[in-house]
Amino acid sequence: MSSLVGFLRSAYELLARVADYLQAPLLLALRVFFFWQLFLAGKGKLFNIERTAQFFESLNIPMPVLSAYLAGATECFGGLMLVVGLASRLVAIPVAFTMIVAYVTADYEALTSIFSDPDKFVAAAPFPFLLSALVVLAFGPGAISLDALIQRFAGGGRSEAIKV
């Protein structure tokens, strides 16, 4: 019996070591795929600011022109920074906040159906960006990022608790 437990423990440890190697490429793929889309959406908002402001006004968002610029800039520049993994955890906060505001204003029905109809919640446009921002906030951008590169060359002495 102990040999079976030992075998299972060794097999699990091997699986964990292999899975650890997948962490950086997975975080990179997540950042590039979702935040490139967010960058494009933000760029679209900024290049069509009048139309974006009109849409925000139809949602009764206060100061629609300023809000359009803030949302567009957050999505455009925040998305781009998250693609390359620069100031990732810090940038993930306004991105997540912007997506929460998008839920509250543009996808309120999806937000209120989070428990009664979760499919509607996850199908809403803000969901992948909110989830990705929360993943980056919680786990960092991964080893394949500018944050990791900066840490390696400039701040290698940081504690494990705040490691990217």
Question: What is the chain's pLDDT, residue by residue, as a tens digit (164 residues)?
Answer: 789 999 999 999 999 999 999 999 999 999 999 999 999 999 999 999 999 999 999 999 999 999 999 999 999 999 999 999 999 999 999 999 999 999 999 999 999 999 999 999 999 999 999 999 999 999 999 999 999 999 999 866 554 444 44
Report the C-alpha gap between 105 and 63 in whole angstroms.
14
DSSP one-letter code for 114? T
Which ranges in the chain belong to alpha helices (H)? 2-47, 49-58, 64-73, 79-84, 88-106, 108-112, 118-123, 127-139, 146-154
DSSP 162: G
Residues 82, 89 contacting (CB under 8 angstroms): no
Sort 144 into a burial class: Cβ within 10 Å, 0-12 / 13-18 / 19+. Answer: middle
How far is residue 26 CA from its own chain's centroid?
Answer: 13
Q: What is the pTM of this model?
A: 0.87
**Residue recorded with tokens 């100031």:** 87
Q: Where are the domains of the chain?
A: 24-162
Helix (H) or strand (E) holding 156: none
Q: Is 142 left (phi over 0), alpha (psi -120 to 50) or beta?
A: left
Contact of 42 with 79, CB cutoff 8 Å: yes
